[in-house]
Structure 1
Amino acid sequence: MNRYLLSALTMSLLTAFTHAHAGEGAAAAKTALTAKPAALGSGIAVDYFDPSVRVQDDFFTHLNGKWLKTTAIPADKASWGSFAKLQDDTQPQLRAIIENAAKSPNQAAGTDAQRIGDFYASFMNEKKANALGLAPLNAELARIAAIKSRAELPAMMAHLGRLGVGLPYDFGIHQDAKDSTKYVADIMQGGLGLPDRDYYLKKDDAKLADALAKYGVYVEKMLALAGSKTAAADAKAILALETELAKVQWTKVQNRDPVKTYNKVELAKMAEVAPGYDWQSYLDSAGISSKAGYVIVSQPSYLKGFADVVNKTPLESWKAYLQIHLINAYAPLLSKPFVDTRFAFYGTTLSGVTEMQPRWKRAVGAVETSQGESLGKLYVAQHFPAERKVRMEAMVKNLLAAYKQSIDTLDWMSPETKKEAQSKLAKFRPKIGYPNRWKDYSALVVSRDDLVGNVMRSRTLESNRELNKLGKPIDREEWGMTPQTINAYYNPEMNEIVFPAAILQPPFFDAKADDAVNYGAIGAVIGHEISHGFDDQGAQYDGDGNLRDWWSAADHKNFAAKTQMLVKQYSAYSPLPGYNVNGELTLGENIADNSGVAIAYKAYKLSLNGKKAPVISGLTGDQRFFMGFGQVWRMKMREPQQIVQVKTDPHSPGQFRANGTMMNQPAFYEAFNVKPGDKMYLAPKDRVIIW
Structure 2
Amino acid sequence: MKPFYFAVIATLLCISCEQEKPQEPSKIEFTGISENIKPGDDFFMHVNKIWYDTIQIADDQVGVGSYSFLNIPQKQLLQNILEEVSITEHPKGSIEQKVGDFYASGMDTAQINKRGYTPVVPVLKKIDDIKDVADIMHFVTTEIQNGNNSFISLRVSADTKNSSINILHASQAGLGLPDRDYYFKNDSSSLGIQQAYKKYIATLLELTDEENAQAMAEKVYELEKQLAESHKTRIERRNIQANYNKFSVSDMTANEPNIGWAKMFSTLALDVDSVNVRQPAYYQKLNEMLSSVSVQDWKAYLKAHTLDNAADYLSSPFEMAVFEYNKVLYGQSKQKPRAQLMVQQVDRKLGFALGQLYVKRYFDEAAKKRVLDLVNNLQKAFENRISELDWMSDSTKLKAKEKLYAITKKIGYPDVWREYDVTIEKDKFYENVVALHKNDYEYRVKDLNKAPDKDRWGTTPSTVTAYYNPSLNEIVFPAGILQFPYFDMEADDAVNYGGIGMVIGHELTHAFDDNGAQYDKDGNLKNWWTKDDLEKFKAKTQQLIDRYSTFTVLDSVHVKGALTIGENTADNGGISIAYDAFKMTEQGQDTVKINGYTPDQRFFLSIARIWRVKTRDAFLHNYVNTNPHSPAIWRVNGPLMNFSPFYEAFEVKPGEKNYKPMEERIKIW
Which TM class, normalised by the smaller chain length? over 0.9
1:14 matched to which residue of 2?
none
Question: 1:29 touches 1:672 (CA, 8 Å); kept in 2?
Answer: no
| Cα distance in 2 between the residues matched to 1:611 and 1:209 | 55
Aligned mate of 2:604, from 611, 621, 626: 626
Equivalent position amino acid for 1:394 in 2:
D
| Cα distance in 1 between the residues matched to 2:587 and 2:48 | 31
Question: 1:42 touches 1:616 (CA, 8 Å); kept in 2?
Answer: no
| Cα distance in 1 between the residues matched to 2:166 and 2:408 | 19
1:396 matched to which residue of 2?
375
Question: 1:58 touches 1:679 (CA, 8 Å); kept in 2?
Answer: yes
Question: 1:42 touches 1:617 (CA, 8 Å); kept in 2?
Answer: no
How far does the alpha carbon of each residue in 1:335-363 deviate from its partner, in whole angstroms, 9 at most, with x for none? 111111111102x0100001111111111
Give 1:156 shift: 1.6
Question: 1:154 touches 1:281 (CA, 8 Å); kept in 2?
Answer: no
1:329 matched to which residue of 2?
309
**1:117-128 map, 5 Å:** 117-128=100-111
2:54 matched to which residue of 1?
70
Matched, 1:586 2:543: no
| Cα distance in 2 between the residues matched to 1:286 and 1:539 | 35
Give 1:273 shift: 5.0
Give 1:56 shift: 1.4
Question: 1:42 touches 1:513 (CA, 8 Å); kept in 2?
Answer: yes
Secondary structure of 2:477 counterpart: strand
Aligned mate of 1:660, from 638, 643, 660: 638
Secondary structure of 1:80 counterpart: strand
Matched, 1:53 2:33: no
Question: 1:169 touches 1:188 (CA, 8 Å); kept in 2?
Answer: yes
Give 1:40 shift: 4.6
Give 1:92 shift: 2.1
Provide the aligned length of Structure 1 versus Structure 2.
Answer: 654
| Cα distance in 1 between the residues matched to 2:588 and 2:640 | 24
Equivalent position amino acid for 2:507 in 1:
E
Give 1:171 shift: 0.7
1:502 matched to which residue of 2?
480
2:206 matched to which residue of 1?
224
Secondary structure of 1:534 counterpart: coil
When residues 566 and 273 of structure 1 are mapped into structure 2, their CA distance, relative to the original with a 3 A threshold, is farther
Aligned mate of 2:138, from 155, 166, 175: 155
Secondary structure of 1:182 counterpart: strand
Q: Which moved more, 1:664-673 or 1:146-155?
A: 146-155
1:357 matched to which residue of 2?
336
Give 1:375 shift: 0.8
**1:419-458 map, 5 Å:** 419-441=398-420, 443-458=421-436
Aligned mate of 2:227, from 242, 245, 251: 245
Aligned mate of 2:392, from 383, 391, 413: 413
| Cα distance in 2 between the residues matched to 1:209 and 1:44 | 46
Give 1:161 shift: 2.2
Question: 2:641 touches 2:660 (CA, 8 Å); kept in 1?
Answer: yes
2:292 matched to which residue of 1?
312
**1:511-522 map, 5 Å:** 511-522=489-500
Question: 2:42 touches 2:657 (CA, 8 Å); kept in 1?
Answer: yes
Give 1:546 shift: 0.3
For structure 1, the 5+ residue unaligned runs are 1-22, 33-37
When residues 547 and 488 of structure 1 are mapped into structure 2, their CA distance, relative to the original with a 3 A threshold, is same
When residues 39 and 652 of structure 1 are mapped into structure 2, their CA distance, relative to the original with a 3 A threshold, is farther
Aligned mate of 1:532, from 502, 510, 525: 510
Give 1:472 shift: 2.3
2:168 matched to which residue of 1?
185
Q: Which moved more, 1:494-503 or 1:168-177?
A: 168-177
| Cα distance in 1 between the residues matched to 2:366 and 2:81 | 22
| Cα distance in 2 between the residues matched to 1:229 and 1:29 | 79
| Cα distance in 2 between the residues matched to 1:29 and 1:322 | 70
Question: 2:102 touches 2:426 (CA, 8 Å); kept in 1?
Answer: yes
Aligned mate of 1:562, from 540, 548, 567: 540
For structure 2, the 5+ residue unaligned runs are 1-10
Give 1:326 shift: 1.0
Matched, 1:43 2:24: no
Give 1:272 shift: 4.8
Aligned mate of 2:363, from 376, 381, 384: 384
| Cα distance in 2 between the residues matched to 1:652 and 1:503 | 19
Q: Alignment RMSD, CA only?
A: 2.0
Equivalent position amino acid for 2:83 in 1:
E
When residues 605 and 350 of structure 1 are mapped into structure 2, their CA distance, relative to the original with a 3 A threshold, is same
| Cα distance in 1 between the residues matched to 2:156 and 2:384 | 36
Secondary structure of 1:617 counterpart: coil
Matched, 1:295 2:281: no
1:132 matched to which residue of 2?
115
Give 1:608 shift: 2.5
Secondary structure of 2:558 counterpart: coil
Percent of aligned positions with the same letter in both sequences? 38
| Cα distance in 1 between the residues matched to 2:72 and 2:625 | 26
| Cα distance in 2 between the residues matched to 1:83 and 1:474 | 29
Secondary structure of 2:486 counterpart: coil
| Cα distance in 2 between the residues matched to 1:360 and 1:264 | 44
How far does the alpha carbon of each residue in 1:67-110 deviate from its partner, in whole angstroms, 9 at most, with x for none? 11001111111121112453122222212222222112x32211
Question: 1:29 touches 1:618 (CA, 8 Å); kept in 2?
Answer: no
Q: Which moved more, 1:267-276 or 1:140-149?
A: 267-276
| Cα distance in 1 between the residues matched to 2:536 and 2:29 | 37
Secondary structure of 1:46 counterpart: coil
Aligned mate of 1:100, from 59, 62, 84: 84
When residues 489 and 499 of structure 1 are mapped into structure 2, their CA distance, relative to the original with a 3 A threshold, is same
| Cα distance in 1 between the residues matched to 2:269 and 2:474 | 29
| Cα distance in 1 between the residues matched to 2:505 and 2:346 | 32
Q: Which moved more, 1:154-163 or 1:562-571?
A: 154-163
Question: 2:582 touches 2:588 (CA, 8 Å); kept in 1?
Answer: no
| Cα distance in 2 between the residues matched to 1:199 and 1:97 | 39
1:172 matched to which residue of 2?
155
When residues 619 and 402 of structure 1 are mapped into structure 2, their CA distance, relative to the original with a 3 A threshold, is same
Equivalent position amino acid for 1:76 in 2:
D
Question: 2:170 touches 2:277 (CA, 8 Å); kept in 1?
Answer: yes
| Cα distance in 2 between the residues matched to 1:393 and 1:310 | 52
How far does the alpha carbon of each residue in 1:479-502 deviate from its partner, in whole angstroms, 9 at most, with x for none? 111110100000000000000001
Equivalent position amino acid for 1:389 in 2:
K
Question: 1:198 touches 1:208 (CA, 8 Å); kept in 2?
Answer: no
Give 1:125 shift: 0.1
How far does the alpha carbon of each residue in 1:526-571 deviate from its partner, in whole angstroms, 9 at most, with x for none? 0000100000000000000000011111111111111111111111
Equivalent position amino acid for 1:214 in 2:
A
Equivalent position amino acid for 2:395 in 1:
E
| Cα distance in 2 between the residues matched to 1:161 and 1:248 | 22
When residues 277 and 386 of structure 1 are mapped into structure 2, their CA distance, relative to the original with a 3 A threshold, is closer
How far does the alpha carbon of each residue in 1:313-332 deviate from its partner, in whole angstroms, 9 at most, with x for none? 11111111111111111111
1:367 matched to which residue of 2?
346
How far does the alpha carbon of each residue in 1:225-267 deviate from its partner, in whole angstroms, 9 at most, with x for none? 1110111221111011010011110000111111100111111
When residues 326 and 609 of structure 1 are mapped into structure 2, their CA distance, relative to the original with a 3 A threshold, is same
| Cα distance in 1 between the residues matched to 2:446 and 2:525 | 24
2:8 matched to which residue of 1?
none
Equivalent position amino acid for 1:56 in 2:
G
Secondary structure of 1:498 counterpart: strand
Matched, 1:206 2:188: yes
| Cα distance in 2 between the residues matched to 1:537 and 1:631 | 28
Equivalent position amino acid for 1:579 in 2:
V
2:267 matched to which residue of 1?
285
Secondary structure of 2:104 counterpart: helix
Question: 2:588 touches 2:600 (CA, 8 Å); kept in 1?
Answer: no
**1:536-547 map, 5 Å:** 536-547=514-525
| Cα distance in 2 between the residues matched to 1:273 and 1:450 | 43
